[in-house]
Structure 1
Amino acid sequence: MSTASTRRDVPAGTSIPYASGEPAAALRDGDTLDVLVVGGGGAGLSAAVFAAIAGLRTAVIERTEYVGGTTAYTAGTTWVPGTRHAAGVGAQDSKAEARRFLDAAIGAHAPTDLREALLDLGPEAVAVMEAGSKVDYVARPLHPDYLTQLPGARLAGRALEPLTFDGAVLGDRLALVRPPLPEFTAFNGMSIERDDIGHLAGAHPTEESRRHLLALRRNYRDAVREHGCDARRTMGNALIARLLHSLDEAGVPVLTRSEVTSVERDGDAWSVVVNEDGVELTLTVSHLIFGSGGFNRDPRRRAALLPGHSMQWCPGAPGHTGQAHGIIDALGGRYGTAAFSHTFYAPVSTRRRADGSWAVFPHFVMDRAKPHMIVVDQNGHRYLNEATSYHLFGNQMLMHDHEDPGAATPSFLITDATGMRKYGLGMVRPFQRERQLREYLEDGYLVRADSLEDLADQLGVPAGALRETVERSNGPAARGEDPDFHRGMNEYQRFNGDPASETGAPNIAPVEGAPYFAVRIYPGDIGAATGFVTDAAAAVLGPDGERLGGVFAVGNDMQSVMGGTYPAPGITIGPGLVFAYAAVRDIIGGPLPGAETLVPTPGW
């Protein structure tokens, strides 16, 4: 089958170079490829790197002007149990324990053979990636699973982070990497990593933080003068830059502003038409790997799967419009149906930027899990544990809306003067002076009041109910307790709190002491969980359960191995990596070069 295409004649041998800089590799009309990767996000680029390691003729097609997708916006955390990095932080783990954890978290929401493949191939995938590319990972001594109350959960060793990367080695190619969200940078554009956040948030002695931040700022200014942007790339941005550098060195063409417009069966291969800025090429492709980012910005699929859910609440990158899904549909692919939820969630707040675009800020860990914070609905009532994982938080907002239509959207994240000073609120950083808050107050993002009654009036909630809620919470909170919703119930929640809390409870302290502040929060969708049904090698299955023949789906294009649950950090990027590896391993019929570097983990 094929999708609609307007084909114009292209002379044989016409070349489409990279979108910026000198082309290190190019595609020509009539080229034959072993693998064409559709989508240049984290999973797609990982698939292309694995294909290059395997010696396969490979190219990447990306619709937007940047590579990186939503991965470039994230912390880049990659959840893969059983790697050599676990031993490096002293983590005691086993496949049986990881399996027990996933079984308890996921249940019947996803097939067991997918999670078995994740556990079997994960350590090998990481070993091959590190041996054959520029990607390097590190584990932290404390980086817990989210559902640490479940059997088999661990506090460290499973979540990996990409090392910071000097993007200057990419030269002009650095411009292809999707920039980080401005709201997650410092000093108007400087990339930050997890260790920098502690200095920005006042978690270290003042003089130590001052020296650290001065050095960062000096290096940032030097990079801007030399390269026009921050060359130091961190977290998810570092992961994408490392993947791109790996592909450049392997001579793999990466075409931006490009899309696949037609796919037709041609014997044992596929005839694929690619359009890049109005130029069309026909390629003969043995295997297609789709990693286009999921359905979230496809209006039709969004209306069907997330009815009433505004696109304005989605903090993801702009590329996942569903265009590639139309191609897989035409080829016979089908969406899964058993997921706990169709997408992964986080509470978000929104604000219009100076350039007219909308900033969508996910409230992951910086504020709501800290002391001096509560969340209330439009009736002025608490209805959830503010410190729960962001996915469960978003789901509970939706459940509350279902039980009391409209009560949770928006909800209000409220803090007092101490909470604002120490932790900030959403896009408002901690330790801001009153004059620095003015722009947030003037555009309505931040609400400030000298009394709870005034705050209630500005938010449009019943003043008596809000005061009663705060007083009900404050009494136990002064003792470090939360009998209603049990904040701090597990190690993950306590990890995201403040160990220096005056109550002794990392997540709990009273909300008292004017002025009071609030932001409006919404259930934001951060990535698709519902995608195309595949087997354990990421091969797309048709209605009859048979493979489509050389068509694979990875990342958020694939029905989630987690079944729409979110048991740990990095459970989209980690499986994106592992199933990209599974697909290429399946194509070549065995382990990739570098698999021999795998150091077996005891219990694996």
Structure 2
Amino acid sequence: MKLQKNETEDVYDVIVVGSGAGLVGALAAASRGLRTLVIEKTEFIGGTTAYSGSGLWLPGNAAELRAGVDSGPDQARPYLDAIVGDDAPAALREAFLKAGAPMIDELESHSWMGQFYWLGVPDYFEKAPGSLARGRTIFPEALDRSALGDLEPLVRRPQWAERSGAHPGDVMTGGQALIARLLLSFMETGNGAIRTNTPLKQLVVEDGRVVGVEATSDGESITLRARRGVILAAGGYERNAEFRQKYQPEVTGEWSQGAPGNTGDALFAGMEVGAATDLLEEAWFAPGLVVPNERPVFYTSVWSGIWVNDAGERFMNERLPYDRSGHEILRAQRNSDVSHIPVHWVFDQRQFDNERAFSSPPVAPQSTDWFDIDKFLEAGVLQRADTLEELAELIGVPAGTLTKNVAQFNEYALSGKDEAFGRGDAPWDLNIVNTCGPHEDGPNPCLGLIDKAPYYAAQIVLSDLGTKGGLKTDDHSRVLREDGSVITGLYASGNTMAPMTGRIYPGAGGPVGSSMVFSYLAALDMADSND
């Protein structure tokens, strides 16, 4: 589909490759009078951002101030400095901290964007200086689907609806609402154009400057020129089997939560013109619950039970923030002779007796009866037994070790203190407290007993929300060569860009928030250019 206004030729001021959080850059450019084109590889606008809860980790913005949260750049800087360290340039963090609040102010000035709202989600590293138990995450307002009019079919469905074919509902929330609001605002400028089903082939370079893109449309090669520059904002390479095997051999793209088109096309195009890269071995990792006949379901943490490896040993706090949890699984897999992928999630009948546990779990499919026990058992992704010993045999772990670990955990549940891994101690652990085990089991709501037969074991694999390594940039989002020089006319953001956050995930909304900021900074730099 082509949505273009006042198009007289295939020459623009700005071209944005990718239609997720990069739409912020497109909107910022178009709002400044720059003729802007967004090209999207797939038939839908939104990328992985449309799948997300659209939390935005942006310290010091207007939504936080309205909620009475005291968190500006000065409060967040020591937190980021401590957790990111030398894994990413400090200049990127500083640019992010300075631009986040003005960006939100500008977005809220567009009538279609509405006002963002703060919702307390604790920062993910509770012991770091500057960490906020109240959190810094904001969200976009919901939007009636009808508001989109003829544009509605363009917006990518929520992941659960896309997988099941179910109707996504009359009200758009989370990432869908964010993308829809950005799309409406962008088209309202009168300077915006969108081409879907238009995959990037390569960048056009003249005299060392990026001046456009070559793409494919309707089976034909087309050249689209950009006077001011090109923003590469097309996600990571999580759906590229060759690159995953090269940089992340323990993980498969079949486990990823990334959008279908994310095969690294923009990343490779940048590399072909001499761009430097960093952290290609990294991803926004997360646990993935294996479900029948589908990709694993992303969720934030367990509701009850424990995780054990192939030796039957519990090895971590199962309620760690999801990226920390994913990294811990990967660390254990790489540093042990015992397999940790898949992890065995062992729990008891209390899990199903607790209405909260599956009716509204953290980041689970929003569909009725999604966890159908019989279907899971039939597919072999769930095992059930009357005793722990029988369950151990079904999943192939030593029975003595499993029963010992469950008994130890039950002692922790009764005392209220996880002496081994501190589950339930951090603000994040307690954040979604109503989905932990039944509260009457003990003083700590995140440590429910495992003693009510039958017993179950599900499979947890290492999933991700997308890869995060990418092209090196400066604090204006300009892509750099290995020698540190700027590739004129080329910008990157999102998962096509080597992340401002380095190897870590600071808090809910880190990926989307930083993607938006660096798309915005790219647009500001192009708007200031007189070339």
Same fold (TM over 0.5): yes
1:547-604 deviations in whole A, cap 9, x for unaligned?
10010000011111000201211111001111111111111229xxxxxxxxxxxxxx
Match of 1:294, SS state, is: coil
How does 1:502-513 map onto structure 2 within 5 Å? 502=440, 503-513=442-452
Corresponding residue for 1:284? 225
**Alpha-carbon shift at residue 409 of structure 1 (Å):** 0.7
Change (3 A) 1:359 1:304: closer
Candidates 408, 415, 419, aligned match of 2:351: 419
**Alpha-carbon shift at residue 189 of structure 1 (Å):** 3.3
**Alpha-carbon shift at residue 449 of structure 1 (Å):** 1.9
**Alpha-carbon shift at residue 433 of structure 1 (Å):** 12
Corresponding residue for 1:346? 286
Q: Does 1:321 align with 2:298?
A: no
**Alpha-carbon shift at residue 248 of structure 1 (Å):** 2.5
How does 1:103-252 map onto structure 2 within 5 Å? 103-132=81-110, 134-140=112-118, 142-156=120-134, 158-182=136-160, 189=166, 191=168, 230-251=169-190, 252=192
Q: Is the 8 A contact 1:140 1:156 kept in 2?
A: no
Separation in 1 of the partners of 2:247 and 2:60?
35
Corresponding residue for 1:35? 14
How does 1:1-20 map onto structure 2 within 5 Å? 18=2
Deviates more, 1:157-166 or 1:535-544: 157-166
Q: Does 1:552 align with 2:491?
A: yes
Match of 1:512, SS state, is: coil
Change (3 A) 1:138 1:448: farther
- Corresponding letter in the other structure for 1:314: S
Corresponding residue for 1:445? 381
- Corresponding letter in the other structure for 1:545: G
Candidates 433, 439, 444, aligned match of 1:501: 439
Q: Is the 8 A contact 2:119 2:137 kept in 1?
A: no
Corresponding residue for 1:254? 194
User: C-alpha root-mean-square deviation of aligned residues, in Å?
Assistant: 2.5
Change (3 A) 1:26 1:420: farther
Candidates 305, 309, 328, aligned match of 1:377: 309
- Corresponding letter in the other structure for 2:17: V
- Corresponding letter in the other structure for 2:226: V
Corresponding residue for 1:312? 254
Separation in 2 of the partners of 1:259 and 1:124?
32
Separation in 1 of the partners of 2:431 and 2:250?
34
Match of 1:493, SS state, is: coil
Candidates 460, 463, 472, aligned match of 2:396: 460
**Alpha-carbon shift at residue 401 of structure 1 (Å):** 1.3
Separation in 2 of the partners of 1:362 and 1:26?
42
Query: Unmatched 5+ residue regions in structure 1?
Result: 1-16, 192-229, 591-604
Q: Is the 8 A contact 1:86 1:157 kept in 2?
A: no
Candidates 10, 16, 40, aligned match of 1:62: 40
Candidates 377, 383, 401, aligned match of 2:333: 401
Corresponding residue for 2:300? 364
Match of 2:300, SS state, is: coil
**Alpha-carbon shift at residue 262 of structure 1 (Å):** 3.7
- Corresponding letter in the other structure for 1:374: I
Separation in 1 of the partners of 2:413 and 2:161?
31
Q: Is the 8 A contact 1:421 1:431 kept in 2?
A: no
Candidates 514, 517, 526, aligned match of 1:578: 517
Deviates more, 1:129-138 or 1:522-531: 129-138
1:378-403 deviations in whole A, cap 9, x for unaligned?
11110000111111111111111122
Change (3 A) 1:255 1:543: same
Q: Does 1:89 align with 2:89?
A: no
1:393-432 deviations in whole A, cap 9, x for unaligned?
1111111112223520111112211122321389699996
What's the TM-score once normalised by structure 1's chain length? Answer: 0.81
Separation in 1 of the partners of 2:202 and 2:256?
29
- Corresponding letter in the other structure for 1:401: Q
Match of 2:257, SS state, is: coil
- Corresponding letter in the other structure for 1:528: T
- Corresponding letter in the other structure for 1:277: D
Query: Unmatched 5+ residue regions in structure 2?
Result: none
Q: Is the 8 A contact 1:347 1:362 kept in 2?
A: yes
Equivalent pairs, count: 518
1:138-189 deviations in whole A, cap 9, x for unaligned?
3345221111222101133621111111121222321111111227999x73
1:36-87 deviations in whole A, cap 9, x for unaligned?
0011122x21111111111110011111111111111111101101111112
Separation in 1 of the partners of 2:300 and 2:55?
13
Q: Is the 8 A contact 1:49 1:133 kept in 2?
A: no
Separation in 1 of the partners of 2:367 and 2:187?
40
What's the TM-score once normalised by structure 2's chain length? Answer: 0.91
Separation in 1 of the partners of 2:261 and 2:367?
32
Q: Does 1:264 align with 2:204?
A: yes
Q: Is the 8 A contact 2:123 2:135 kept in 1?
A: no
Corresponding residue for 1:482? 418
Corresponding residue for 2:472? 533
Match of 1:552, SS state, is: strand
- Corresponding letter in the other structure for 1:327: A
Change (3 A) 1:589 1:80: same
- Identical-pair percentage: 32
Candidates 454, 462, 480, aligned match of 1:523: 462
Deviates more, 1:257-266 or 1:394-403: 257-266
Corresponding residue for 2:215? 274
Q: Is the 8 A contact 1:53 1:132 kept in 2?
A: no
Q: Is the 8 A contact 1:297 1:318 kept in 2?
A: yes
